[in-house]
């Protein structure tokens, strides 16, 4: 493969809800460009894109796959992305390094919920968008409804460049209003014949063509003047205007196709070649420090790793985009995050699992290399001394969690290494080693993603693991005030132990002065690592306890708060007042007052109307209006407090506060309720009191576990 200049590189991502036909379209694009000689299909498990075993087994994409081909004077890099929300991290990574998103809509179902997620990603990154309405050959195809849904949700910038003459069974003709011609396809698809637009379609086609010309002219003053002068624009003038409009997200072209029958993909490739912006025509990218990086092949080399792939017999492969300069095999670059120099031993152009050795890549291009020592996803490589770290990818927050347990002895180290590798490949998967819960917890974007991880652990790493419900990180606190005292006395010959502490506790309230009968001498507030605060106040007068023992009493209180008196969960938001005590001139020491403080606190805590707190998450659900009743009913069964509802395009957005204890496997439940038409996200909101009946159950369970231990 020859080296392409930055101006002749096009980077596109194929985006869309699961089942929209992205992988089939990718296969058509490669076939049309001559990169492959035979089109595979998902059913036969032989597509270039879905080559992983799990993708073949499931019949849909799980990973974002890099492809490339050559079309006339351009090199086109294509990233085929998964359609399920559970793999949104793969989509965000692809959007980060591509310059246009091809959003594939299934003409049977219109704008589906997965498209909503994708649209938000393109808005955040300012990515130009082209719509490809697919599956127009299906008997339930409805182009007009899909188009109106797109306009309703994404605005009137959604502009028809093509429409089908005869969608449904027998579909074989597309009217192209940009070029004012009709493409008539032979049976089974392939290369179409260009024909005149039928007379009964000319009026509509001319009106749509005029809309395109006007939108092209609006983005350039010189074009606008030409349009007023001639009442039209030439093909080159239209192309110039469309390039600007597309790059600025002022137009979202709509194309038509049946990827299954290879109808329409060639025209889309031509549009990508002619109009989709190259990396040199997109807004200048910025570093994490806000500095600009110009896409210039003559600049300082800078490459951003957006994905890491690890496969048996291939090792670890890093996929990257070059933001500046020209990269050659043998070049040495620097990773300032890990303070490591990396030698680029080989460069590859990628087509699924196939790698082609190349000598160099220019700014704007996407490629791969292997055997980087300490460079991972979201790292930037550049020449040493340059500050060129690219802004990192912001991955979505997890929406599902499981605790992982090893079901075979002696594989703990191997399991830890496997989990580390999975996180390297997909940073949207978070591995938490919870000392508090004594569990290893996997956080992901949904139960489907977590089930894929289990499949990989069992099949790729040959590990025997189980997924169980994670424990809930409850917290303990008090609702009232109480006093207690404790004398610790131990005599066993020689120096003994003696410490006596009188303590008052009450709920912590910022700025509160404390009990009227106690005068604070020294006040100390500790920010607890598990959340909340401890206020520790010395009210000792007359030297009943030496001040040097106060840190020991505090240490005892903190030790008990770390494993609270009710269920062993951490305690928080408590004020502790030490107002009296006794000490012995010989036997008093730090350990004595630590134990006395711990036991006095435990006694006072149980007298102060103890309360168990549970984590509450703010949950947002995006769902079609016709299933709102089912979604709301399910939420109420989960002890949810509804905060509000609002319309968003074709969907309704529900916000609610839901206890974490009720959210286990909520993703699967929502998918079942909505038949895959709804999605949700969540974030921690606060801790709130557990209902009395649940608190009693948890206390009983804790007592039983202590007895069995």
The 10s digit of each residue's pLDDT in 417-453 is 999 999 999 999 999 999 999 999 999 999 999 999 9
Provide φ and ψ at 647, rounded to 5°: -80, 140
- Do 16 and 124 lie in one domain? The reply is yes
Handedness of CA 192, 194, 197, 198 (dihedral sign): negative
More confident residue, 359 or 676: 359
Are 421 and 526 contained in the same domain? no
The whole-angstrom separation of Cα 128 and Cα 151 is 16
| Mean pLDDT, range 316-334, rounded to an integer | 94
Share of residues in the chain with pLDDT > 90 (%): 81
Q: What's the CATH code of the domain at 656?
A: 3.30.70.240
What is the average per-residue pLDDT within 661-682? 91
Confidence tier at 650 by pLDDT (50, 70, 90):
confident
Angle of helix 628-637 relative to helix 666-674, nearest 10 degrees, comes to: 150
Predicted pLDDT at 709: 63
Note the pLDDT of residue 314. 66
- Please give the Cα distance from 20 to 353 (Å, whole number): 23
Whole-number average pLDDT of the chain = 93
> Taking 70 as the threshold, does the pLDDT of residue 81 lie above it?
yes
3-state SS class at 297: coil
Answer with the one of 561, 579, 608 that is the final residue of a domain. 608
Q: 394: closest CA among 99, 91, 129?
A: 91
Q: CA distances (Å), 172 to each of 177, 221, 435, in order?
A: 16, 39, 62
- CB-based contact 561:528 (threshold 8 Å): yes
Q: What is the mean pLDDT of residues 219-229?
A: 80
Residue 573 structure tokens: 């938001």
Are the beta carbons of 678 and 627 closer than 8 angstroms?
A: yes
- The answer to whether 442 and 430 are in contact (CB under 8 A) is yes
Residue 303 has pLDDT above 80, yes or no: yes
Kindly tell me if the per-residue pLDDT of 63 is higher than 70: yes
pLDDT of residue 113: 84
Q: What local confidence, expressed as pLDDT, does residue 501 receive?
A: 97
Q: 535 Cβ partners below 8 Å, 6+ apart?
A: 508, 523, 524, 525, 526, 574, 575, 576
Give me the domain span that covers residue 420.
400-471
Q: What is residue 269's predicted lDDT score, i.e. its pLDDT?
A: 96
Indicate if the pLDDT at residue 198 is higher than 90: yes
Do residues 326 and 349 both lie within one domain? yes
Q: 389 lies in a domain?
A: no
In a domain? residue 214: no
| Band (289; pLDDT cuts 50, 70, 90) | confident
pLDDT of 51 higher than 80: yes
- Residue 510 pLDDT exceeds 80: yes
347 and 462 in a single domain? The answer is no
**What three-state secondary structure class fits 372?**
coil
3-state DSSP assignment of residue 447: helix
Separation CA 140–CA 82 (nearest Å):
24
**Coil, strand or helix at 404:** strand
Distance CA 658, CA 618 (A): 6
Quick one: which H or E segment has residue 173?
strand 173-176
**Distance between CA atoms of 131 and 252, rounded to whole angstroms?**
7
Report percent pLDDT > 70 for the chain: 99
CA dist 147 → 12, 102, 108, 625 (Å):
22, 15, 11, 19
In this prediction, residue 383 carries a pLDDT of 92
Q: Are residues 61 and 190 in the same domain?
A: yes
> Average pLDDT, stretch 256-260?
95
Q: 3-class SS at 476?
A: strand
Least confident of 54-68, 101-115, 118-132, 209-223: 209-223
Q: What is the pTM of this model?
A: 0.89
Checking if the pLDDT of 229 tops 80, the result is no
Residues 544 and 580 in one domain: yes
Q: Are residues 582 and 649 in the same domain?
A: no
Coil, strand or helix: which one is 462?
coil
CATH code (residue 193): 3.40.50.300
Residues 509 and 624 in one domain: no
Q: With cut-offs at 50, 70 and 90, classify the pLDDT of residue 313.
A: low
The pLDDT score that the predictor gives to residue 288 is 86
Q: How many domains does the chain have?
A: 5
Q: Considering the domain boundaries, does residue 497 fall inside one?
A: yes
Answer yes or no: do 314 and 454 share one domain: no
């Amino acid at each position: 493969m020859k080296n392409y200049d930055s101006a002749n590189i096009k980077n596109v991502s194929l985006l869309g809800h699961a089942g929209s036909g992205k992988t089939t379209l990718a296969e058509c694009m490669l076939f049309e460009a001559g990169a492959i000689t035979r089109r595979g299909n998902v059913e036969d498990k032989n597509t270039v894109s879905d080559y992983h075993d799990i993708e073949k087994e499931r019949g849909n994409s799980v990973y974002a796959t890099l492809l490339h081909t050559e079309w006339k004077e351009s090199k086109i890099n294509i990233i085929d992305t998964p359609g399920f929300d559970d793999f949104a991290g793969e989509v965000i990574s692809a959007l980060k390094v591509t310059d246009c998103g091809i959003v594939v809509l299934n003409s049977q179902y219109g704008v589906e919920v997965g498209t909503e997620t994708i649209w938000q990603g393109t808005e955040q990154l300012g990515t130009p968008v082209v719509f490809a309405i697919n599956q127009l050959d299906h008997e339930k195809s409805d182009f007009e409804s899909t188009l109106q849904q797109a306009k309703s949700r994404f605005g009137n910038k959604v502009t028809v460049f093509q429409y089908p003459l005869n969608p449904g069974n027998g579909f074989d003709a597309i009217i192209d209003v940009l070029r004012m011609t009709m493409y008539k396809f032979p049976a089974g698809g392939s290369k179409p014949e260009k024909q005149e637009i039928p007379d009964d379609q000319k009026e509509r086609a001319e009106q749509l063509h005029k809309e395109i010309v006007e939108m092209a002219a609006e983005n350039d003053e010189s074009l606008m003047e030409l349009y007023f002068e001639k009442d039209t624009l030439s093909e080159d003038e239209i192309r110039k205007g469309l390039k600007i409009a597309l790059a600025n997200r002022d137009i979202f072209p709509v194309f038509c196709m049946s990827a299954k029958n290879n109808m329409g993909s060639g025209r889309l490739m031509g549009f990508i070649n002619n109009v989709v912006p190259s990396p040199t025509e997109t807004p200048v990218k910025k570093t994490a420090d806000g500095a600009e990086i110009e896409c210039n092949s003559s600049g300082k080399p800078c490459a951003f790793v957006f994905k890491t792939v690890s496969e048996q017999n291939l090792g670890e492969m890093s996929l990257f985009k070059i933001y500046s300069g020209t990269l050659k095999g043998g070049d040495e670059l620097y990773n300032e995050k890990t303070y490591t120099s990396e030698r680029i031993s080989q460069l590859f152009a990628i087509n699924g699992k196939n790698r082609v050795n190349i000598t160099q890549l220019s700014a704007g291009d996407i490629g791969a290399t292997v055997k980087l020592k300490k460079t991972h996803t979201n790292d930037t490589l550049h020449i040493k001394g340059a500050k060129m770290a690219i802004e990192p990818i912001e991955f979505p927050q997890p929406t599902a969690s499981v605790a992982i347990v090893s079901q075979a002895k002696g594989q703990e180290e191997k399991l830890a290494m496997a989990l580390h590798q999975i996180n390297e490949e997909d940073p949207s998967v978070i591995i938490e080693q919870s000392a508090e819960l004594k569990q290893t917890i996997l956080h992901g974007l949904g139960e489907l993603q977590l089930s894929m991880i289990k499949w990989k652990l069992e099949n790729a790493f040959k590990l025997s693991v189980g997924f169980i419900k994670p424990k809930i990180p409850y917290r303990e606190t008090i609702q009232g005030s109480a006093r207690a005292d404790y004398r610790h006395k131990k005599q066993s010959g020689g120096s003994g132990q003696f410490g006596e502490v009188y303590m008052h506790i009450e709920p912590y309230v910022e700025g509160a002065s404390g009990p009227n009968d106690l005068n604070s001498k020294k006040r100390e507030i500790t920010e607890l690592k598990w959340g909340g605060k401890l206020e520790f106040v010395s009210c000792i007068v007359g030297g009943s306890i030496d001040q040097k023992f106060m840190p020991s009493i505090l240490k005892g209180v903190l030790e008990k708060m770390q494993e609270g008196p009710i269920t062993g969960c951490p305690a928080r938001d408590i004020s502790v007042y030490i107002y009296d005590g006794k000490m012995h001139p010989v036997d008093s020491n730090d350990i004595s007052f630590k134990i006395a403080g711990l036991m006095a606190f435990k006694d006072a805590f149980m007298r102060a109307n103890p309360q168990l707190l549970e984590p509450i998450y703010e949950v947002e659900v995006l769902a079609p209006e016709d299933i709102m009743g089912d979604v709301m009913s399910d939420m109420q069964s989960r002890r949810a407090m509804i905060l509000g509802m609002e319309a968003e395009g074709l969907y309704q957005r529900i916000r609610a506060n839901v206890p974490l204890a009720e959210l286990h496997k909520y993703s699967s439940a929502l998918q079942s309720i909505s038949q895959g038409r709804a999605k949700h996200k969540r974030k921690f909101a606060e801790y709130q009191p557990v209902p009395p009946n649940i608190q009693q159950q948890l206390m009983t369970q804790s007592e039983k576990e202590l007895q069995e231990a």
